Amino acid sequence: MKSIGIFKPAPQDHDFVGVRFGCAPAQVPIVSLDGWEAAAGHGSRAAWVNRAGAPVDRPSATPDHCLTPLPQIPELVA
């Protein structure tokens, strides 16, 4: 986030959303094309859009959801 001088995957990047909108990390879903970013959700619910079917590369920190088609995203945030 250029406006606050930090960038992903810094935890402060995710914290900024909660501070800005007055919500807890668990209320901020993260949807990413990068498995490492989704795995580093920092308390947020994270979904990895894994279109290539790649294996999870961080077994110690896996995303909450692994999706292949993008149309599944609205189901997760509903």
Encode pLDDT of 7-49 as tens digits: 666 667 767 778 888 988 778 778 888 777 766 656 777 888 8
CATH code of the domain containing 35: 3.40.50.1000
Encode pLDDT of 38-74 as tens digits: 666 567 778 888 888 888 877 667 788 888 766 766 7
Claim: this prediction has a pTM higher than 0.75: no
Q: Which residues contact 39 (CB under 8 A, 6 or more apart)?
A: 46, 48, 56, 58, 61, 62, 63
Structure-token pair, residue 27: 């209320």
Task: Give the torsion through C-alpha atoms of 68, 71, 76, 78, to 10 deg.
Answer: 180
Count: domains in the chain: 1
Question: Residue 58: which domain range?
Answer: 2-77
4 to each of 39, 40, 62, how far by Cα in Å?
Answer: 22, 19, 27
- Across 1-78, the runs of DSSP E, i.e. the strands, are 30-32, 46-49, 65-67
In this prediction, residue 2 carries a pLDDT of 55
